[in-house]
Structure 1
Amino acid sequence: MKPALLVIDVQKQFFDESPETARSLTNAIEYINAGIALFRAKNLPVVCVQDIGEEDERVPGTTRFEVPESVKVLPSDLHIHKTYGNSFNKTPLAGALRERGVDTVILTGYCAEYCVLSTYRGALDHDFTPILLRGSLASGVAENIPFVERISDVISYGALKQVLG
């Protein structure tokens, strides 16, 4: 198994959606950053996926598009820009992961029931094994997170750390 960590749509605009969304994102960032640190320590790929929404003025170069400073992604990480919920749809993600020998994707980010779940299903369509990192998902509707976890494969941070050695 060679995994990559995907950080999906953790962008400044979404913190302004609602207090519930901001709280959910803030809570998820602790686990996202723990995952990033673990992947860096193991020299494994970290991928930052950012959603473009022209109608919301969420485009590269705008504050709304940016990843918050509290998320520990680096400019040297792979950055993918998407216009669909599924991070694999019409992006270079699958090819970039294959070039790095990746066969498994650990998914984190926002919004659990939309872009994260769409990317989970997209990973299957591209023959990657998708796994959600428990605690690292965010949503404006808190009860949607356990639903998404129930219908998906999930791993805790502790188990992931053990598996990666």
Structure 2
Amino acid sequence: MKPALLVIDVQKQFFDESPETARSLNAAIEYINAAIALFRAKNLPVVCVQDVDEEDKRVPGAPHFDVPESVKVLPSDLHIHKTYGNSFNKTPLAGALRELGVDTVILTGYCAEYCVLSTYRGAQDHDFAPIVLRGSLASGVAENIAFVERIGDVISYGALKKVLG
């Protein structure tokens, strides 16, 4: 197994959606950052996926497009810009992961029931094994996080740490 960590749509604009969303994102960031540190320690790829929406003016260069400073992604990480919920749809993500020898994707980010779940299904369509990192998803509706974790393959941070050695 060679995994990559996907950090999906943790962008400044989404913290302004609602107080519930901001709380959910802040809670997820703790797990996301722990996973980023683990992947870096194991020299495994970290991928930052950012949603582009010209109508909402969420485009590269706009301040609310950016990832918050509290999320430990680096400019040297692979950055993918998407215009669909599924991070694989019309992006170079699948090809880039194949070039890196990746066969498994660990999914984190926002919004659990939309972009994360769409990316989970997209990973399967591209023959990657998708796994959700428990505690690392965010949504404006807490029940939707539990739903996504219930219907997909999930791993805890402790188990991921053990699996990665």
Give the TM-score normalised by structure 2.
1.00
CA drift at 1:51:
0.1
Match of 1:23 in 2: 23
Match of 2:160 in 1: 160
Letter in 1 for 2:65: F
Letter in 1 for 2:103: D
**Unmatched segments (≥5 aa) in structure 1:** none
Match of 1:89 in 2: 89
CA drift at 1:78:
0.1
CA drift at 1:89:
0.1
Tell me, in whole angstroms, the C-alpha distance in 1 between the residues paired with 2:20 and 2:142: 8
Match of 2:110 in 1: 110
Letter in 2 for 1:15: F
Q: CA RMSD in A?
A: 0.3
* SS of equivalent residue, structure 2 residue 142: coil
CA drift at 1:128:
0.1
Tell me, in whole angstroms, the C-alpha distance in 2 between the residues paired with 1:74 and 1:120: 23
Identity of aligned residues (%): 90
Match of 1:45 in 2: 45
Tell me, in whole angstroms, the C-alpha distance in 2 between the residues paired with 1:9 and 1:63: 14
CA drift at 1:151:
0.4
CA drift at 1:141:
0.5
Q: Is 1:4 aligned to residue 20 of structure 2?
A: no
Tell me, in whole angstroms, the C-alpha distance in 2 between the residues paired with 1:100 and 1:28: 26
Match of 1:119 in 2: 119
Tell me, in whole angstroms, the C-alpha distance in 2 between the residues paired with 1:51 and 1:147: 22
Match of 1:128 in 2: 128
CA drift at 1:80:
0.1
Q: Is 1:64 aligned to residue 64 of structure 2?
A: yes
CA drift at 1:43:
0.1
**Unmatched segments (≥5 aa) in structure 2:** none
Tell me, in whole angstroms, the C-alpha distance in 2 between the residues paired with 1:164 and 1:153: 17
CA drift at 1:143:
0.7
Tell me, in whole angstroms, the C-alpha distance in 2 between the residues paired with 1:63 and 1:17: 15
Tell me, in whole angstroms, the C-alpha distance in 2 between the residues paired with 1:126 and 1:144: 25
Moved over 2 A (4+): none
Give the TM-score normalised by structure 1.
1.00
| Offset from partner CA, 1:71-97 (integer Å, 9 cap, x none) | 000000000000000000000000000
Tell me, in whole angstroms, the C-alpha distance in 1 between the residues paired with 2:146 and 2:126: 25
Tell me, in whole angstroms, the C-alpha distance in 1 between the residues paired with 2:52 and 2:77: 18
